[in-house]
Structure 1
Amino acid sequence: MKLLHTADWHIGRTLNGYSLLDEQENAFEQILNIAKAEQVDGIVIAGDIYDRAIPSTNAVTALDKMLKTINLDNHIPIYAISGNHDGAKRLNFGNEWMEESDLYLNTLLSEAFTPIETPEAQIFMLPFFDPMDARVYYQQQGMDEEDVKNIRGIGEAMNLVISDMVKLFDPNKKHLLITHFTVAPSAEEELELTSETTSKVGGLATLTVNTFNDFDYVMLGHIHTRFASPSEDIRYPGSPVKFNVKEAKIKAHGKGVDIVEITDNQITHTFKEITPKTDLHVLSETWETLTDPKFYKAQPIKKDWFAITVKDFDRSKHVNVRAKMQEIYGTVVELDYENIKRDQEIATSQANLSELSPDTIVDQFFKTITGKDLSDDQKQLVDSIFVDLGKED
């Protein structure tokens, strides 16, 4: 049995106001071509199919076309779950009749306890859920009220869920799990890799690999790089598209999907790379370098996207910086400035703020913003203001 493992499509995502839909559709075409070339028995989408709970019309139309192309036109089964970005109840619409064409879509905790049965494996599909979802579910199952109250964190909830899944195991088959959470190698090792929201992995509580010891293989979603995978048999494929500058900076991570092959003796995974239609490049150089033809002509200008940081920048010497950068490079999705000396001055002044007089603080603030000292007239005005304020006290 062979499966294509992908996750975190985030259909409808934008990058600083720029639509990523063309990028996502291009990545989808490559995913489909990989699936056909590898002759997979199914495509796994491990959560965050949409970017938001209430997706745009364009996002809904795009996903509808993608799923139809995979499932109806090419007759490839789909095993999909909702992630923390998806609207579970909205995405759940029509899932019963979808299964008639082997399109399995789980968005509710209650659906996770009915595995998909294939000749080789049982595929458990566990969508993103929180402890409250678990409390509601187990209360409906007749659990004692005090025991329900003890489900406080996601770790306690997940242990209950996994133990109930294990009761359903067929000992003659492999046991696969599709889910959408942060999973670390151990409690002592907290992940610090890029995800879709923050550099500390999206704000979801961290689980550990020990939680999933009973499964032969776990196909995860949520973290956007495969290098966050906590073990060889608990894997993130990463997102198929670069969604932010942090992801673009980590060039070695690449984007793609995993091909997971299940045999009687082992389960293996092979990464298949996806080539971006419009790549995102991160440049951090001085103004002189950025405007030097020798430098910028070596870049894919007017073709790809750029996130630019101007180093050692003096605002007083330049106007219409964005316009100039766009004239040279084309689409600039992010423009930032870095002045090491000024940043150090700000840090020093903040550290010594309590030791400075009010008029000195105003003087330093003015210099930080404008790069100039207060004039004599401005100093007199500031002084008179503080004198008047002192009288009011």
Structure 2
Amino acid sequence: MKILHTSDWHLGRIFNQQSLLDDQAYILQEIIQQAVNHQVSAVIVAGDIYDRALPPADAVALLDRTLNTLIGEHNIPVIMISGNHDGAQRLGFGSSLLKHSGLHLFTSFDQLLEPVILSEAEGSDLVIWGIPYCDPEHVNQYYKVKTTDHQSAQEHVTQLLHEHIARHYPHSATHVVISHSFIAGASVSDSERSLSIGGAECVSADLFKDFHYTALGHLHQAQHRSYSHVRYSGSPLKYSFSEVNHNKGVSIVSFHADQSCNIEHVPLEPKRNVRIIEGELADLLAQGKKDPNNHDYVQVKLTNKEALLDPMASLREVYPNILDLVKVRNNEGSTNSERSRAQLARSEMDIINDFYHAMNNEHLTDEQRQILQNVLTELNNTDTERSSKRA
């Protein structure tokens, strides 16, 4: 039996004022194709289906199309939990009715002890438990307890699961749990919203070690921590420039009769990649004209020393999806005041030459420099005479 584990779709995401809905629609088609190709028994989405609690209508429509294709056309059940970005009540609307069609939503602790059971003619049952995103406030309110951080809140909920499993399920069953949480020591990126302040968001991987597989969501890099079966699938797309080196994909998990599992990370190819490119403006413009992937989302780091006139407009002609522009200086170790003094120390001729080059893509000739030098000298002499008269 196989499952496809994915998470953190963040439908409706805006990346530096750029809507990613078209890219998300493209990558969801890839996820559907991987589910079909690997003949999975279910698709698990470990939270943050939407990017915000009130998702835009286009994002809701995209999710509807995706679920209809997976469940309606390919007869693949989908199991989702709510994440910290989701509005749990809105996401969970109609969950009691939808589960009969193959969509299983875990958005409330009311559903905690109602697993999805997948059975095959041979082998043990695969029992899938969903833990909706739980912070201490939600756990305390629902269970009338006083947990103080995410560790104690998650510990309370997982203990309830373990006790229920021990009472009601035979040892032959294989148990999978889905959770949206931050495992202590795992790698983070800039696009994840903090769950709390001061490290209280972290939970130990030990809470999940006794499940046969833990499908995690929240962190956007595919990884595991402490145990190979306690795993993040990562987000299917890069949502910040801190993720440029991430290998985005999904996890295909194959379960065996002895309750062991094999985990395969299957890469996904986005419609547009997210990249960082660095160099001088002229070099980057020439590179962009030949770049077969010039429609990628790029951050440009310019290394030019001279002043540039509207480099963003020039770069957008060859990289139409440029999302960020950074000026890199060779003296980055110096302070702002030191850099300001260095700029002020430059001669008027150097400043004029930079402007001329930006406008005409060529430097001043010796003859032009001489004419300008004569003008500057005359202006300086005039200023000196005026100052002497005022004195």
1:319 corresponds, among 309, 312, 334, to 309
Change (3 A) 1:114 1:370: farther
Change (3 A) 1:3 1:256: same
- Name the Cα RMSD after superposition: 2.6
1:287 corresponds, among 264, 269, 281, to 281
1:221 corresponds, among 217, 220, 223, to 217
State which drifts further: 157-166 or 191-200. Answer: 191-200
Change (3 A) 1:46 1:304: same
C-alpha displacement of 1:305? 2.5
Q: Are 1:340 and 2:369 matched, yes or no?
A: no
| Structure 1 runs of 4+ with >6 Å offset | 198-204, 368-371
1:246 aligns with 242
Conserved in 2, the CA contact under 8 Å of 1:4 and 1:40? yes
Identical residues among aligned pairs (%)? 30
**Any idea what the Cα deviations from partners look like across 1:190-212, whole Å, max 9, x if unmatched?**
33432633799998711121111
- Greater per-residue helix proportion: 1
Conserved in 2, the CA contact under 8 Å of 1:177 and 1:215? yes
Conserved in 1, the CA contact under 8 Å of 2:205 and 2:225? no
Conserved in 2, the CA contact under 8 Å of 1:193 and 1:200? no
C-alpha displacement of 1:368? 7.2
Q: Are 1:183 and 2:183 matched, yes or no?
A: yes
Conserved in 2, the CA contact under 8 Å of 1:346 and 1:368? no
C-alpha displacement of 1:58? 0.9
C-alpha displacement of 1:242? 1.2
Bigger radius of gyration: 2
SS in 2 for 1:344: coil
Conserved in 1, the CA contact under 8 Å of 2:150 and 2:200? no
Give the aligned residue type for 2:288. Y
Give the aligned residue type for 1:287. L
SS in 2 for 1:158: helix
Change (3 A) 1:297 1:209: same
**In structure 2, distance between residues paired with 1:365 and 1:217:** 54
2:140 aligns with 135
1:157 aligns with 153
**In structure 1, distance between residues paired with 2:279 and 2:240:** 19
Give the aligned residue type for 2:67. L
Change (3 A) 1:245 1:320: same
Conserved in 2, the CA contact under 8 Å of 1:109 and 1:127? yes
SS in 2 for 1:43: strand
Q: Are 1:269 and 2:263 matched, yes or no?
A: yes
2:354 aligns with none
Structure 1 residues not aligned, in runs of 5+: 140-147, 185-189, 350-363, 377-393
Conserved in 1, the CA contact under 8 Å of 2:134 and 2:153? no
**In structure 2, distance between residues paired with 1:63 and 1:263:** 31
1:234 aligns with 230
C-alpha displacement of 1:30? 0.8
2:202 corresponds, among 201, 206, 225, to 206
Conserved in 2, the CA contact under 8 Å of 1:109 and 1:133? no
Give the aligned residue type for 1:88. A
**Any idea what the Cα deviations from partners look like across 1:254-276, whole Å, max 9, x if unmatched?**
21111111111211111111111
Change (3 A) 1:285 1:118: same
**In structure 2, distance between residues paired with 1:98 and 1:336:** 48
